[in-house]
Amino acid sequence: MLPDPPYDPFKGLDPAQTVRVLPRHLAGPGQADLKTIWAFPFDEGWHLHQGLDGMVFAISPCARLWTRFTPKPEERGQGTWTIGMDRVPFGPRAWEITFDATTPAELLRDVHAELLDLYLEDRHSDQTHLFEDATAPYEVYTPLLTRGWSHSVKTDGTQTFLPPDGLGGVRHRYATTRSEGPTWRAWGGYPSEPHWQAQFSAAAPTTLAAAFTASLISTEPLHRAVKQIPFHTRRHLYVAPAGAPQPLNRPTSAMPPTGHTTGRTH
C-alpha cells in the first residue's frame, strides 16, 4: 500500500492565489527583484553592469565591494547571489557570501540593506566595519534561541541551531584553527534536499550574518503565490489569506531606484 501523500494546506486554492506565510525559511523564493534587493544609490557612483547569460552585478564607487546575480535555471538552486569584498580594487578577495537564487527574497533584501549601511558608515567615518567587524557571534544566534530553536555543539568546532520544525538550520564554525569552510551556513527545508542554502566565508562581517538571521526569524509574514511555495514542506507553514495574485520569482535586471532605505537594526 502506498503511503498517503503529504498534507497540502493549499489544496483547492488557485495556484495564483496569494497567501501570507510563516516561517520564512519554508516560504519559497518569492519575487527576487533587483529593484528591491539592490537598493544602492546608483546616482552616487555605484555601477550596474550586465554580463553574459543574464548575469548582473553592482560595484561600489571604491571598486572593492561588489554583488552579483548569476542565473542558472537548470540547477537546483536556480543560480547564485554573491557578495564579495576585495582587499584592493579587483584584487585578492577578503571575504565572500553566497546565496542560492531560491533563498527567500526578503532575506536577500535585508542583508543587502545592511551591507549598504556598513559601506556608508565606513565611507563617511574612519571605521572599517567591512574588514574589521566587531559584532560578536552571539548576536547572530541568540535571536534563534529566543524563538525556540535548538542548539547542539560538536567537537569538530561547529554548533548547529535548528528551528522547531527541524526543516532548516544555521551552522556556526566557531573554531578558527582551520580556514576551510564557511564560518556561517544556513539552509531551509530538509537537510538532504534543502530548498535554499547560504554561506558566509571567514572574515565576512558578522553584522551581515546577524542581519540574515534577524530576517530569517522575523514574524512578519511573507506574501507568496501558492505556486511559489515548496510542496513537500507546506504542511509546516502558517497561512493567512492575502491579496491579489503575485508574479513568479524571476530576478529582473531593471535599474534599481537611486535612493536607499536604511536596514540597520542595531
- Provide, rounded to the nearest whole percent, the portion of the chain with pLDDT above 70: 86
Whole-angstrom distance, CA of residue 196 vs CA of residue 222: 16
Q: Quote the pTM value.
A: 0.87
Cell of 99: 546565496
User: 34-68 burial by CB neighbour count: b if 16+ within 10 A, else e?
Assistant: bebbbbbebeeebebeeeeeebbbbbbeeebbbbb
Secondary structure element (H or E) that encloses residue 156, with its range:
none
- pLDDT tens, residue by residue, 112-163: 999 999 999 998 888 888 999 999 999 999 999 999 999 999 998 999 999 9
Cell 556561517 belongs to 184
For 167-224, what is each residue's pLDDT tens digit? 999 999 998 665 567 999 999 999 999 999 999 999 999 999 999 999 999 999 999 9
Write down the pLDDT at residue 241: 59
Would you call the peptide bond into 23 cis, given omega within 30 degrees of 0 as the criterion? yes
pLDDT of 11 over the 80 cut: yes
| Pairing assessment for the beta strands 222-225 and 47-50 based on DSSP bridges | unpaired
Give, in order, the Cα–Cα distances in Å from 259 to each of 34, 36, 116, 192.
13, 11, 11, 40
The yes-or-no verdict on residue 239 having pLDDT over 90 is no
Task: Provide the β-strand partners of residue 188.
Answer: 168, 196
- Evaluate whether 240 touches 27 at the Cβ level (below 8 Å): no
Cell numbers 542558472: residue: 72
Written as one string, the DSSP assignment of the chain is: -PPPPPP-TTTTS-TT-EEEEE-GGGS------HHHH----GGGT-EEEE-GGG-EEEE-TTSSEEEEEEE-TTSTT-EEEEEEEESSTT-SEEEEEEEETTS-HHHHHHHHHHHHHHHHHHHTSS--TTTS----THHHHHHHHHTT-EEEE-TTSEEEEE-TTSSEEEEEE---S---S-SEEEEEEETTEEEEEEEE-TTS-HHHHHHHHHHHT--S-EEEEGGGS-STTGGG-EEEE-SS---------PPPPSS-------
Per-residue pLDDT at 37 = 95
CB atoms within 10 A of CB 205: 23
